[in-house]
């Protein structure tokens, strides 16, 4: 195999082989760890820095989501192309040339973004944010650091997308765990022994982002055979063929980022920074559902894309439906706990009764909305694998045009709770109606089975389990006991949800038979 002439160096891989199972397990365990660490650390952030300073953390998350739109669909395009490379549809030389051009593009974009945010940081602190306890100069400094971090995130996104496309699940998981530990637990050392000021918090986070960028680039470089490519970019020759697909992905990213982040943008201006901090706590907890979804997206995307590239449509549909039922059981179980046990969960988490009372309604609404969002995002996998994105684009556009004006009116009048209702209803309608329509265009053979067998039946069982537990079983006995009860409720709900799905039920039975065979073999 020679550089520049060899096709992708990996053979076709069955979606059920041992490496796939190990990669999925590592990915999922790492995501659980990251979610637990990220969510568990929030009360400590609020305790050390205060709710107003934590509002800056929420503002950074929103700002990052908006600015990353300038990715213009290039990172998901890169992931898809490296999946094709792994399937043998692209040469090593082409893959490395694409990487080099993306590095030039995102590097230049990072410099422009950093300078632009620094220049407008004083205006943001003076005219957009409302705060009373933090010094104006410190807020300006924090916003400037945010701009530099966002610039680095474009490169990180490209590198991690490449690793996802190559299905390097173990590498991705190990890197994510290391970075999450530094980001979440390491900063406690800074807050505990150096300074509790938000300036110290953001300065440390900048160092972690720089390390994350280097680590992902090193891992990606080790995952592609070495070939010599031109140091200078050749965007016309290398990127031009991928522009149509990238632009379609960029448009979808723009629309969905607007849908997901407009509420946070508007509320950052309409709410006092302390109230925005409480809102951010609720949204952070609800985002645990989206974090649970990432392993499915990362594990399924390259395998579904490879199966599509190889024309194995039946195998792709089976894998997609199995993944959907797993996702529905997990996501809806988590949402059920957050909906029906929102206040006990927040009180157990933060040990702050006022915060729990204020944030519980917002958590319940955003949790259910996030579960619906994750499921219809999973439905996009088939369109993405086939390179057909127009139906998602049309649906997203219609959704945005109808949804954004309603959001602005309701959020202005009813605040965070109103925004939560709009988020929930909008995503539920999109999942029920538009995804069904899109499936009819790209995968008509699973159109109704996906909706009723893979999503609704599994979701109904998981949610009903949580509701019955809350109604007939739950009684608060203290933080430790309540935490154990919440975990047990979620675990039972997941198990019942897996039994409700035809594919997952068959998978569970297969695992029992295999375990029994291994037991008697020994």
The model's pLDDT over 460-479, given as tens digits with 9 standing for 90+, comes to: 999 999 999 999 888 887 88
- What CA–CA distance (Å, rounded) separates 409 from 203? 37
For 143-161, give one letter per residue: b (16+ CB within 10 A) or e. bbbbbbbbbbbbbbbbbbb
pLDDT tens digits for 164-204? 888 777 888 889 899 999 998 889 999 989 999 999 999 99
**Mean pLDDT in residue range 95-99:** 79
pLDDT at 338 exceeding the cut of 50: yes
Q: What pLDDT is attached to residue 346? A: 92
Q: Is residue 332 located within the same domain as residue 465?
A: yes
Q: Is residue 392 part of a domain?
A: yes
In this prediction, residue 120 has a pLDDT band, given cuts at 50, 70 and 90, of very high
Q: What pLDDT is attached to residue 38? A: 80
296 to 314, 327, 387: CA distances (angstroms): 19, 7, 19
- Of residues 442 and 150, more confidently modeled: 150
**Mean pLDDT in residue range 369-387:** 81
pLDDT at 21 exceeding the cut of 90: no
Q: Is residue 348 part of a domain?
A: yes
pTM over 0.85: no
**Mean pLDDT in residue range 244-257:** 68
- What CA–CA distance (Å, rounded) separates 409 from 414? 9
Q: Is residue 324 located within the same domain as residue 464?
A: yes
pLDDT at 256 exceeding the cut of 80: no
Q: Is residue 373 part of a domain?
A: yes
Tally of domains in the chain: 2
Q: Is residue 322 located within the same domain as residue 209?
A: no
Q: Is residue 281 part of a domain?
A: no
Percent of the chain with pLDDT over 90: 33
In this prediction, residue 22 has a pLDDT band, given cuts at 50, 70 and 90, of low
Q: Is residue 383 located within the same domain as residue 517?
A: yes
Q: Is residue 240 part of a domain?
A: no
Q: Which burial class, exposed, middle or buried, applies to 492 when counting CB atoms under 10 A from its CB (0-12, 13-18, 19+)?
A: middle
**Mean pLDDT in residue range 233-262:** 66
Q: Which of 234, 262, 282 is the last residue of a domain?
A: 234
Q: Is residue 380 part of a domain?
A: yes
**Mean pLDDT in residue range 109-118:** 89
- At 516, which helix (H) or strand (E)? helix 502-521
Q: Which of 234, 255, 288 is the last residue of a domain?
A: 234
Q: What pLDDT is attached to residue 1? A: 28
**Mean pLDDT in residue range 348-362:** 89
In this prediction, residue 247 has a pLDDT band, given cuts at 50, 70 and 90, of low
Q: Is residue 219 located within the same domain as residue 324?
A: no
Q: Is residue 338 located within the same domain as residue 204?
A: no
pLDDT tens digits for 404-446? 899 999 999 999 999 999 999 999 999 998 888 888 887 788 8
Q: Is residue 364 part of a domain?
A: yes
Q: What pLDDT is attached to residue 211? A: 95
Q: Is residue 219 located within the same domain as residue 329?
A: no
Q: What pLDDT is attached to residue 204? A: 95
Percent of the chain with pLDDT over 70: 85
Q: Is residue 63 located within the same domain as residue 201?
A: yes
Q: Is residue 206 located within the same domain as residue 343?
A: no
Q: Is residue 336 located within the same domain as residue 227?
A: no
- At 187, which helix (H) or strand (E)? helix 187-193
| Contacting residues for 133 by C-beta, under 8 A, at least 6 apart | 50, 52, 53
**Nearest Cα to Cα of residue 435 among 408, 407, 461, 454:** 454
C-alpha dihedral over 311, 315, 316, 318, to 10 degrees? 160
pLDDT at 492 exceeding the cut of 60: yes
For residue 130, give its domain range: 1-234
Instruction: Output the six-digit token pair for 425.
Output: 């209803």
Check: CB of residue 191 under 8 Å from CB of residue 201.
yes
Q: What pLDDT is attached to residue 370? A: 95
Q: Is residue 229 located within the same domain as residue 324?
A: no
In this prediction, residue 7 has a pLDDT band, given cuts at 50, 70 and 90, of very low
Instruction: Output the six-digit token pair for 73.
Output: 């669909």
Q: What pLDDT is attached to residue 243? A: 62
Q: Is residue 490 part of a domain?
A: yes
pLDDT at 385 exceeding the cut of 80: no
Q: Which of 207, 234, 261 is the last residue of a domain?
A: 234
Q: Is residue 391 located within the same domain as residue 506?
A: yes
In this prediction, residue 205 has a pLDDT band, given cuts at 50, 70 and 90, of very high
- What CA–CA distance (Å, rounded) separates 433 from 435? 6
Q: What pLDDT is attached to residue 125? A: 92
pLDDT at 275 exceeding the cut of 80: yes
């Amino acid at each position: 195999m020679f550089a520049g002439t060899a096709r992708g160096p990996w053979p076709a891989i069955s979606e059920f082989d041992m490496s796939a199972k190990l990669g999925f397990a590592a990915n999922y365990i790492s995501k659980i760890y990251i979610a637990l660490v990220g969510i568990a650390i929030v009360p400590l952030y609020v305790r050390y820095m205060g709710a107003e300073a934590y509002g800056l953390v929420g503002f950074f998350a929103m700002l990052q989501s908006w600015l990353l739109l300038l990715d213009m669909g290039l990172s998901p395009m890169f992931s898809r192309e490296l999946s094709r490379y792994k399937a043998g549809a692209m040469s090593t030389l082409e893959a490395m040339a694409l990487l080099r051009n993306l590095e030039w593009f995102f590097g230049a974009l990072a410099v422009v973004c950093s300078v632009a945010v620094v220049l407008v940081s004083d205006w943001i602190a003076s005219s957009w944010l409302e705060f009373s306890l933090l010094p104006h100069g410190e807020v300006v400094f924090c916003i400037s650091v945010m701009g530099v971090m966002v610039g680095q995130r474009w490169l990180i996104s490209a590198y991690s997308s490449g690793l996802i496309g190559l299905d390097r699940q173990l590498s991705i998981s190990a890197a994510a765990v290391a970075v999450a530990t530094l980001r979440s637990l390491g900063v406690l050392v800074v807050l505990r022994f150096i300074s509790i000021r938000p300036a110290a918090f953001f300065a440390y986070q900048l160092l972690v982002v720089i390390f994350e960028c280097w680590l992902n680039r090193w891992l990606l470089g080790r995952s592609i055979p070495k070939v010599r490519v031109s140091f200078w970019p050749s965007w016309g020759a290398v990127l031009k063929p991928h522009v149509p697909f990238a632009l379609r992905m960029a448009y979808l990213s723009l629309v969905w980022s607007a849908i997901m982040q407009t509420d946070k943008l508007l509320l950052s201006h309409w709410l006092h920074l302390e109230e925005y901090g409480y809102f951010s706590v609720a949204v952070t907890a609800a985002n645990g559902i989206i974090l649970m979804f990432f392993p499915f997206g990362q594990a399924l995307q390259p395998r579904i894309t490879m199966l599509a590239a190889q024309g194995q449509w039946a195998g792709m549909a089976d894998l997609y439906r199995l993944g959907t039922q797993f996702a529905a059981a997990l996501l809806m179980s988590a949402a059920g706990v957050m909906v029906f046990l929102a206040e006990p969960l927040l009180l157990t988490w933060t040990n702050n009764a006022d915060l729990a009372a204020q944030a519980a309604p917002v958590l319940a609404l955003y949790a259910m909305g996030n579960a619906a969002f994750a499921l219809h995002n999973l439905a996009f996998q088939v369109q993405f694998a086939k390179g057909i994105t127009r139906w998602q684009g049309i649906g997203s556009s219609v959704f945005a045009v109808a949804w954004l004006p309603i959001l602005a009116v309701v959020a202005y009048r009813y605040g965070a709770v109103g925004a939560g209702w709009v988020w929930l209803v909008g995503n539920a309608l999109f999942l029920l109606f538009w995804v069904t329509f899109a499936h009819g265009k790209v995968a008509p053979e699973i159109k109704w089975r996906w909706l009723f067998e893979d999503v609704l039946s599994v979701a109904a069982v998981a949610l009903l389990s949580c509701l019955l537990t809350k109604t007939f079983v739950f009684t608060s006995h203290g933080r430790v006991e309540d935490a154990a009860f919440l975990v047990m409720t979620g675990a039972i709900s997941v198990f019942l949800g897996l039994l409700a799905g035809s594919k997952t039920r068959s998978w569970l039975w297969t695992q029992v038979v295999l375990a029994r065979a291994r037991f008697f073999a020994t």
